[in-house]
Amino acid sequence: MAKKGSLFNDAMKRLNRAMEYTDFNKEIALRVGTPKSCLEVSVPLRRDNGSLEFFRGYRVRHDDTRGPTKGGLRYHPAVTLDEVKSLAFWMTFKCAVVGIPFGGAKGGISVNPKELSPMELERLSREFIRRIADFIGPDVDIPAPDVYTNERIMGWMMDEYSTIRRQHSPAMITGKPVSMGGSVGRSDATGRGAYYCIRELAKRVKLDPAETRIAVQGFGNAGQHVARLLHKDGYRIVAVSDSQGGIYSPGGFDIPSLIRTKEDTRHIKAVYCDGALCHAIEATNLTNAELLELDVDILIPAALENQITAENAPNIKARYIVEVANGPVTSDADTILNERKIEVIPDILANAGGVTVSYFEWLQNRSGYYWELQEIHQKLQAIMSREFEKVYDLALELQIDMRTAAYVHALKRLGETMEAKGTSSYFSNEKVP
């Protein structure tokens, strides 16, 4: 049971609110609110200097009602079992929202990967797979990249798992290098999925790209890609930030220039690049907290969870918040934002592009037939646009916020599957199917 004030407890508040708008047996909430299994392991690492250290690792399989579980692996000092349980819970709903036949899972290691050498990172990754190999697999639980993990790490993990099983096993993990069975279109899938949601939102509320100001907190993989695609459409990206801070310019930035400089220097700098030359441009430095409170039309939190809380929610000025990160808005903040008529496009919808293309990768690995990039984009756009429309219309129909509508939408798919197997209503003869 999650302790009071925990991230998992916060997630349960959203489940309970969504249940009020369904007629499912209360047993559904009990089952969905209880993780199926949690694994905690000690991961030894022989450092380059010969010393030995142990790091705590986790893998949670939340629910497999609709199929094998699916979810990322993150390397971060703040990784805890409570966090991983919450992320696995959200993955269950994310998969159900977009209608793919997976349940939710999540995992990670409590470590700062920036303090590891490349060889230490490889040894840690392979050792982690040795510890959890019996807990995962292409028909059971399929990991993927997450915070501070990438396609190279996924490749190491697939190679290690294949060695353990003594057979080539590309479908056991997604987000791999394309040369190792990864899918084209996976690297920008999370950001692209959010971009498709923003396009649908723009149609509904009549946003003019040239007049729409956007701030992006978290200029990592997902944040960069959603900013790049929106910039290409003419939106004004007026602020971006990473863990070290951010920059702001009311006229907007040339996003390809920022991405190029970030890749070259690992820092965000206000620049404009013309060919091989990059020139500094005028901008204001600001903190991540200050970025969240900017007067913009769309705020995109694309970093970590719990960024918008009851403390700063009264100061949020954006008209719309699009959650590219997992859990960036707390349930207490939701209440305040709803009262202030600030619409939130929730994480379980907005960032579902990543798991959707991961599903495509898994399908391709199982069949041995690989799709072209255009086909990946078309399939992703069809799913994201379709499910955004369903959630948006459900919110209007029930007169509820988008987050609650997304949970209700997911619960319908989860609840129908669970009831098909029988709940207390059936076994106590309360109703006959």
Block residue for tokens 């907290």: 289
Asked if 70 is an active-site residue, the reply is no
- Cite the DSSP H helix spans in 137-293: 151-165, 189-205, 221-232, 255-265, 288-292
Q: Are 103 and 173 in contact (CB under 8 A)?
A: no
CA-CA distances (angstroms) from residue 115 to 73, 75, 118, 362? 18, 11, 10, 32
Contacts (Cβ under 8 Å, ≥6 apart) of 64: 36, 103
Return d(Cα 10, Cα 381) in angstroms, integer. Answer: 31
DSSP-derived secondary structure for 328-372: -B-HHHHHHHHHTT-EEE-HHHHTTHHHHHHHHHHHHHHHT----
Block residue for tokens 């996976």: 186
**One of 70, 85, 94, 106 is an active-site residue; which one?**
106
What is the SS3 assignment for 39? strand
Return d(Cα 100, Cα 357) in angstroms, integer. Answer: 10
Q: Which of 201, 198, 253 is nearest to 222 (CA)?
A: 198
Query: In this structure, what are the phi and psi dihedrals at residue 311, rounded to the nearest 5 degrees?
Result: -75, -45
What is the SS3 assignment for 115? helix
Q: Which residues are catalytic?
A: 106
